[in-house]
């Protein structure tokens, strides 16, 4: 039997010209070679799309901020020369986009991100002896065009820090407006509150998700429900890049546009401590000052400058996670 298996010739694909490649006969090629070929094709498509997006956003970041602030001010803010800034931002953006491409399909597997508590509670507890007290549930909200897979690294860090109940959900970035997403967030908070009626939640959002947290924290609905909130790479004043966005939701995020004006008019002091972390080289939020929240201190928000990495890279940054967890540790210790 073993001899038969080792001497048996490789079976050939019994397929001729196909619909997608009418001029090529695949019959002479072994099946496993064809499988690897398709894998390479998909891989190169991912690399190509990621490279195109990284190059476009980096060029726009460089052009917009160079003309807004000038080379000297841009150098002062970023701490590096213009060629180094361009190449570093391009490389980091490409890497983060590749990570997103690989992890994106897993964001739609709901049990990975939003398990009922009776299932989640059976997950192993953190072995960190410094976190003997139970940690509050955490709700994670992703940004535009992304999904729950955005939180793959942050969820790991939260778990290591002793947070047992970590939830994330995915929303569609087309055919709905910003205030619908805010209502979705409010509904998710109520759902988790039904599971944990005597516990305040922690909210953490990235980009557009951070803006929905800001809108929610300004409402009376958030009173006595939220322990703390963390915003990563929030376009608090919108972004000029939104003009190139696909869909009405993306274009509504224009720099100092109608939506941003409405948010500023509705802003109220937050009912819980809030942290906003921004990168000094955020290539998606143009200009750079758009990452700062007007009247932040008055509204109860603490603003911190994160690592000098691109917009999406903040999601996978150890330093960003360290800053977020340090803030939450301080808030929970004071309460």
Q: What is the pLDDT of residues 64-106, one digit of tens each?
A: 877 888 888 777 877 777 788 778 888 888 888 888 888 999 9
- What does the DSSP assignment read for 150-204? GGHHHHHHHHHTT---EEEE---SSS--HHHHHHHHHHHHHHHHHHSTT--EEEE
Residue spans of the chain under pLDDT 70: 1-55, 118-133
CB–CB of 160/126 below 8 Å? yes
Domain that holds residue 73: 31-105
Asked whether residue 4 is assigned to any structural domain, the reply reads: no
Residues 52 and 144 in one domain: no
Cβ-Cβ contacts under 8 Å for 87 (sequence gap 6 or more): none
Domain count for the chain? 2
Residues 183 and 316 in one domain: yes
Which residues are 275's β-sheet partners? Answer: 230, 302
Measured N-to-C along each axis, helices 152-160 and 318-334 cross at an angle, to the nearest 10 degrees, of 40
Residue 123: per-residue pLDDT: 44
Residue 71: per-residue pLDDT: 80
| Whole-angstrom distance, CA of residue 140 vs CA of residue 202 | 9
- Burial of residue 245, with CB atoms counted within 10 A of its CB: 0-12 exposed, 13-18 middle, 19 or more buried: middle
**What is the per-residue pLDDT across 180-227, written as a single tens digit (0 to 9) for each?**
999 999 999 999 999 998 899 999 999 999 999 999 998 877 878 999
| Whole-angstrom distance, CA of residue 49 vs CA of residue 55 | 10
Residue 152: closest CA among 166, 132, 164, 162: 166
Residues 269 and 219 in one domain: yes
Residues 146 and 101 in one domain: no
Can you tell me whether residue 111 is helix, strand or coil? helix
pTM: 0.82
CATH number at residue 326: 3.40.50.1820
Residues 147 and 248 in one domain: yes
Cβ-Cβ contacts under 8 Å for 331 (sequence gap 6 or more): 227, 228, 272, 273
Largest CA distance in the chain: 79
Residues 229 and 269 in one domain: yes
| Whole-angstrom distance, CA of residue 76 vs CA of residue 59 | 19
Residues 185 and 64 in one domain: no
Residue 215: per-residue pLDDT: 94
Residue 132: per-residue pLDDT: 54
Residue 43: per-residue pLDDT: 59
């Amino acid at each position: 039997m073993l001899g038969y298996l080792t001497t048996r010739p490789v079976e050939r694909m019994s397929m001729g010209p196909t619909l997608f490649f009418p001029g090529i006969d695949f019959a002479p090629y072994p099946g496993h070679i064809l499988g690897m070929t398709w894998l390479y094709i998909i891989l190169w498509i991912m690399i190509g799309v990621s490279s195109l997006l990284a190059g476009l956003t980096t060029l726009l970041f460089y052009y917009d901020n160079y003309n807004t602030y000038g080379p000297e001010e841009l150098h002062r803010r970023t701490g590096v020369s213009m060629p180094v800034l361009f190449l570093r931002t391009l490389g980091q953006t490409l890497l983060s986009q590749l990570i997103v491409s690989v992890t994106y399909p897993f964001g739609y597997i709901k049990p990975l991100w939003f398990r009922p508590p009776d299932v989640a509670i059976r997950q192993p507890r953190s072995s960190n002896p410094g976190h003997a007290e139970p940690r509050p549930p955490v709700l994670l909200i992703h940004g535009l065009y992304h999904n729950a897979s955005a939180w793959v690294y942050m969820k790991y860090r939260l778990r290591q820090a002793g947070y047992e109940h970590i939830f994330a959900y995915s929303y569609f970035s087309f055919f709905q407006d910003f205030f619908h997403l805010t209502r979705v967030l409010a509904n998710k908070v109520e759902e988790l509150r039904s599971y944990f009626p005597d516990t305040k939640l922690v909210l953490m959002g990235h980009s557009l998700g951070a803006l929905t947290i800001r809108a929610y924290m300004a409402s009376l609905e958030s009173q006595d429900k939220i322990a703390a909130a963390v915003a990563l790479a929030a376009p608090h004043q919108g972004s000029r890049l939104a003009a190139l966005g696909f869909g009405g939701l993306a274009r509504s995020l224009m720099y100092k546009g109608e939506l941003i004006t409405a948010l500023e008019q509705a802003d109220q002091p937050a009912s819980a401590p809030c942290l906003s972390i921004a990168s000094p080289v955020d290539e998606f939020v143009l200009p750079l000052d758009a990452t700062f929240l007007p009247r932040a201190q008055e509204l109860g928000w603490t603003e911190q400058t994160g690592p000098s990495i691109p917009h999406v890279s903040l999601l996978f940054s150890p330093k960003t996670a360290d800053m977020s967890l340090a803030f939450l540790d301080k808030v929970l210790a004071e309460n």
